[in-house]
Structure 1
Amino acid sequence: MTTAPERARDDVSLRESIPPLHVWAKTFVVGLFMGTADAVPGVSGGTIALIAGVYERLIAAITAVTPRRFFDGVRALTPLDGGVSLDRAAAVLEEVDGWFLIALLAGILSAVVVVTRIVDIANEAAPVLLFGVFFGLIGASAVILFRAITVRTVPEIVAAAAGFTVAFVVSGYGEVLDSGGLIVVFGAGALAISAMILPGISGSLVLVILSQYERMSTTLSEFVSALAGAVTGNGLAPVVEHGTVVVTFVCGGLVGLFTISRVIRRALDANREVTLAFLVALVLGALRAPIVTLGGDEYDVVWNTATMEAFAGAALVGAVVVFVLDWYAVDLDLDAV
């Protein structure tokens, strides 16, 4: 298990705080796997963090990031408070296990960029197969998650029914949400990032429920292409157009990470069984989303025998992937969350 520093040191220097290259590499690889998991609906990056043994460290590091420490770090890098001091900035990084977060985030972002590019291509070439795989990933994840919890008491049953209803109903308003502006993007970012740190609940699953998955995967791919185009002289207009959406999503994610995610953690501490029943039922209710999306105006899929067979076959592939991962690698213990 990767361990966090036992304590922060006020007299730490920048050079002393930088971890060895092999530690960076290990954390980066974990981030790659987490990003890959969170880029597709199904297995959560939080689950990968549990498997890799860094989940508790991740939660502790995120919790350690407070507004005071953030602004302390900013002041250390500006001439406003006694001049620029890399050593003071390093001390703040040590307090929040910052190098670990930076390496992990670098891996996650790298994987997300690559996977969303692949998803964008698949979305153009074979949307039925793509969303069939998503259906299988979501369905198998729901089976595994419900196997890990018990829904027996009245509050747990009510919470599960509420979670299922919320996901099922919201999934039916895809066209309304998909046409929403930056406010919808901001909210989707806040909710998706909050879900990413929970084992079993994928951030991209939240985007599928909110009908923002195709929008964000396409926008991110186009933003990366626009950046490459700007280097070769194609202008900055596409960068600004797509970058505005990406930055809005990231800002929403940052807000969600330090607000909604903390609310979820408190809810888990207050009543773990009821909260888990609600969250896991969201996954089951989200099974409607891929089908509704394919039936919308963007795809307008006709459900004939050939289409249903292709969708079912792809769903089977997605389900097998999750069940194989569960069989060989995942011993999901939600009580440890």
Structure 2
Amino acid sequence: MEWKNIYRGLMMGASDVIPGVSGGTIAVLLGIYDRLIASINGLFSKEWKKHLGFLIPLGIGIAGAVLLLSRLIEWLFKDYPGPTQFFFLGLIIGILPYLFRQADVKANFKVNHYILLIIGAVIVSGMVFLHESEGVVIEEFTLSTYVLLFFSGFIASAAMILPGISGSFILLVMGVYATVISAISNLQLTIIAVVGFGIVLGILTMSKLIHYFFKHYRSGTFALIIGLVIGSIVVVFPGWPESTPFLLLSVVTFAGGLFVAYVLGRVEYKE
């Protein structure tokens, strides 16, 4: 068991609660994205025990963060949205040099790779124009409601596993974010199970697709992923705070994000 994956899972789970921040992005920041994809696909191979050793601690961390930190993240996002997002902005910007180094951009990237990078950045940054609808908490549940929640989980998780695309943001767009967060906070197991089933199927489906491209078009896939991460800067950027105290706090949290990125880069991307 790779127990240090628990802290990685905590970071991924905490980020997944925040609209605009992707758990896939955090996996890239932590240097485990390709292993994550390979391990999910490896569950159906002869080496499934080895992959479980990677995924179980990660899953414990993610579940722990979602269950234990959802209220804290909700509070931070509600009362200090700017500084909170500036922290993640610092994380994303700070880790980019390590991503370029890992992809060995100078040696491997050609014109078509830069085009893919730009396409990825445009796709994610364009999400800022999507209509967000947090909506009210659904209180009456019918079959159609559960179908909506299932497909919301499926689509959100398929997006979630892609760097730069926030699963929570997709839930916002689909109008079920408030319902899902409320269900997690109040342990409404039926709703959690329906959404969770959709999430599992979405992750399995998308991971197979990504694994294929990693295996056959590694540099191109890396280029697209870097583009997705760069595009997420536009999505996460909350705008400049209007008050001086919040501006100063945002500067501090941004610097904190850069520092954490530096530490992660030294630890997770060490040669």
TM normalised by structure 1 equals 0.60
RMSD, matched Cα = 3.8
Aligned pair partner of 1:139 in 93, 96, 100: 93
Name 2:259's counterpart in structure 1. Answer: 320
Are residues 1:63 and 2:42 paired? yes
Equivalent residue letter for 1:279: I
**Separation (CA, whole Å) in 2 of partners of 1:267 and 1:325:** 26
The correspondence of residues 1-337 of structure 1 with structure 2, limited to 5 A, is 26-27=1-2, 29-39=3-13, 40=15, 41=21, 44-45=26-27, 48=30, 50=32, 55=35, 59-60=38-39, 62-65=41-44, 96-97=48-49, 100=53, 101-102=55-56, 104-149=58-103, 150=105, 152-175=109-132, 178=134, 182=149, 183-192=151-160, 194-195=161-162, 201=163, 206-207=166-167, 210=170, 212=172, 222-227=182-187, 239=188, 244=191, 246-291=192-237, 294=238, 303=242, 305-327=244-266, 329-331=267-269
Deviations 1:205-228 (A, max 9, x none): 533664749x9886565334423x
Equivalent residue letter for 2:113: E
Deviations 1:138-195 (A, max 9, x none): 222333212322164121011001000001101332526x569644443112221x34
**Separation (CA, whole Å) in 1 of partners of 2:63 and 2:129:** 30
Q: Contact 1:117–1:217 (CA<8 Å) still a contact in 2?
A: no
Taking a change above 3 Å as real, the CA distance of residues 145 and 61 of structure 1, as seen in their structure-2 partners, is: closer
Q: What's the secondary structure of 1:286's corresponding residue?
A: helix
Equivalent residue letter for 1:276: F
Percent identity, aligned pairs only, is 18
Q: Contact 2:29–2:95 (CA<8 Å) still a contact in 1?
A: no
Taking a change above 3 Å as real, the CA distance of residues 225 and 60 of structure 1, as seen in their structure-2 partners, is: closer
| Structure with the larger RCO, 1 or 2 (CA within 8 Å, 6+ apart) | 2
TM normalised by structure 2 equals 0.72
Taking a change above 3 Å as real, the CA distance of residues 132 and 189 of structure 1, as seen in their structure-2 partners, is: same
Q: Contact 2:90–2:254 (CA<8 Å) still a contact in 1?
A: yes
**Separation (CA, whole Å) in 1 of partners of 2:247 and 2:226:** 27
Taking a change above 3 Å as real, the CA distance of residues 107 and 133 of structure 1, as seen in their structure-2 partners, is: closer
Which has the larger Rg?
1
Cα drift, residue 121 of structure 1:
2.1
Equivalent residue letter for 1:96: W
Cα drift, residue 104 of structure 1:
4.7
Cα drift, residue 49 of structure 1:
7.5
Cα drift, residue 116 of structure 1:
2.8
Equivalent residue letter for 1:311: S
Q: Contact 2:92–2:229 (CA<8 Å) still a contact in 1?
A: yes
Name 1:81's counterpart in structure 2. Answer: none
Across the two proteins, how many residue pairs are aligned to each other?
A: 245
List runs of 5+ in structure 2 lacking aligned partners: 16-20, 137-147
Cα drift, residue 283 of structure 1:
0.7
